[in-house]
Structure 1
Amino acid sequence: MPHKILITRPEPENAQTCQRLAEQGIIAVPLPMMSITPITDKTEIAKIRSQVFNIDEYDYVIFVSKNAARAAAEWLDECWPMLPEKVYWIGIGQGTTQTLIAEGIPALSNPGHTSEDLLDWLKPVKMTGLKILIARGSEGRPTLGEKLSQRGAKVSYLSLYERKKPTYSAQTFVMLPDINKIWATSGESLQTLTEYTLALKKAWLDYPLFVPSQRVVQQATEAGWKNVICADGADDFSLLKATELHTGRSNDR
């Protein structure tokens, strides 16, 4: 059975993923379950500018996503003609790290692809007194900052964009092409996908659902998804590898 995969990434990643899959002869159906919007409040913009101007005060700057990497790179270009020295730039996952490197930021990356993997990687580092800035969207997941604070780090947040739930009508789901698999690349997008699925497409709960981590596997299972597969990564390569492997096993049965 040919792959017909619902892609739920936010833009611009959604279009990029769909194009990559199409080039491999895979049918990719775009339906973002999160929208990324710039911050427009003047007070918040002034706060961002101040934080970026003072970014040399931090020992580590951690970027949680490609969107955070792109947004931060624009601010760094504006505020720092040359990047400050003695700052460690870290991207969570290879995709985020490669985005930073492409923007001229010499980032390191932890093995793995989650905040939990990063925390394991940083275990040998003495955190007491270190100043850490986490670049993310507003009201992001608190686990990383909380754990680093517990280890004695002084954690601040650089909130660079807003994440919003997209609005779809029932007609949107009626008009969608047929699919037989779903990629959900974050817990937040999974939550929105589940809400729409329960309301409009309950049959999807039985479809193979590919997610990036065991944490999201648990979230999906608790939400009622019946066939959840961990891809061990949110990048296209990891998800496609898991999809092919699962399909092969299904065909063997």
Structure 2
Amino acid sequence: MQNGRILITRPEPENTVSCERLHSLGWSTVPLPMLEIMPIEDAQQRAVIRSQIFNIDVFDYVIFVSKNAARLACDWLDACWPMLPMGVHWIGIGQGTTQTLLDEGVPALSNPGHTTEALLEWLKPVRMKQQKILIVRGLGGRPELGEKLEERGAKVSYLCLYERKKPEYLAQTFVMLPDIDVIWVTSGESLVNLSEYATRYKPEWKKHPILTPSNRVNQQAIEMGWIKAQCAHGADDNSLIKATQLFTGRQHDR
């Protein structure tokens, strides 16, 4: 695979980080973000965010759903809390999100898996009844986590720090791209955007190996016509690199 190219669809700034990691391992990359992360800029919404951050100490658990959620939340925490409040359990979904928090000095824990479903499984032994939980995410995020926690008796609130938008690419963008061998996709929304562009401009891509972060997204890819979809069991670089090595090795053996 060192001579092949990996299409990286992560949003920035994570896309650049992943490309640099792969370059250090001797692999070639083609960066093509399939999501744009736009921090909330509306003054009224930012005032609401600031108020929520100042009151974050009322929560028993603060759960971050992504690295972007963690990164942006840490900026707000730095501005509003010279020292982090005591008594809050900080939890990142997935190792990458948790590491982002740890790098910023937030003593976060992570569930053993990489998905919302894995987090819910991990939290089973914990008494959620009457616990106050804040879920930090983007606007319009998946509702399953909050709904399942509320079913257990938790009191769930949301802190939305960013919007996700589909990048606008012209046909010329795809004409100029070099050939690729493997595709990394790290969320269901990125997969939907990629599939729309592939159908329109690069239908041959659907015959390439595509690595997905979870069984849910992998099934989604299969249903969208990606014939070589493979679950990497994580959206972090380590999981995707390992899956790339294993999958391309199997392909070579054939």
Q: TM-score, normalised by structure 1?
A: 0.98
SS in 1 for 2:49: helix
SS in 2 for 1:28: strand
User: Quick one: distance in 1 between partners of 2:249 and 2:106?
Assistant: 39
Q: Check if 1:128 corresponds to 2:101.
A: no
1:96-137 per-position Cα deviation (integer Å, ceiling 9, x unaligned)? 111101111100111010000000000011111111000111
Match of 2:142 in 1: 141
Correspondence list, 1:25-174, <5 A? 25-174=26-175
Runs of 4+ that moved beyond 6 A: none
Displacement, 1:3? 2.5
Match of 1:236 in 2: 237
Displacement, 1:163? 0.7
User: Quick one: distance in 2 between partners of 1:38 and 1:97?
Assistant: 20
Match of 2:213 in 1: 212
SS in 1 for 2:250: helix
Displacement, 1:237? 1.0
SS in 1 for 2:7: strand
* Letter of the 2:23 counterpart: A
SS in 1 for 2:230: strand
Match of 2:176 in 1: 175
SS in 2 for 1:124: coil
* Letter of the 1:183 counterpart: W
SS in 1 for 2:33: coil
Any unmatched runs of 5+ in structure 2?
none
Match of 2:251 in 1: 250
* Letter of the 1:81 counterpart: P
1:42-79 per-position Cα deviation (integer Å, ceiling 9, x unaligned)? 11101100000000110000001111111111111111
User: Quick one: distance in 2 between partners of 1:105 and 1:123?
Assistant: 24
Match of 2:5 in 1: 4
User: Quick one: distance in 2 between partners of 1:165 and 1:122?
Assistant: 33
* Letter of the 1:52 counterpart: I
User: Quick one: distance in 1 between partners of 2:230 and 2:23?
Assistant: 22
* Letter of the 1:84 counterpart: P
User: Quick one: distance in 1 between partners of 2:212 and 2:109?
Assistant: 24
SS in 2 for 1:160: strand
Displacement, 1:251? 1.4
Moved more, 153-162 or 1-10: 1-10
User: Quick one: distance in 2 between partners of 1:10 and 1:45?
Assistant: 22
Match of 2:197 in 1: 196
* Letter of the 2:148 counterpart: K
Displacement, 1:141? 1.1
Q: TM-score, normalised by structure 2?
A: 0.98
Match of 1:18 in 2: 19
User: Quick one: distance in 1 between partners of 2:69 and 2:88?
Assistant: 17
Displacement, 1:219? 0.5
SS in 2 for 1:133: strand
* Letter of the 1:204 counterpart: W
* Letter of the 1:159 counterpart: C
User: Quick one: distance in 2 between partners of 1:132 and 1:181?
Assistant: 38
* Letter of the 1:55 counterpart: I
* Letter of the 2:248 counterpart: T
1:8-27 per-position Cα deviation (integer Å, ceiling 9, x unaligned)? 00000001111111111111
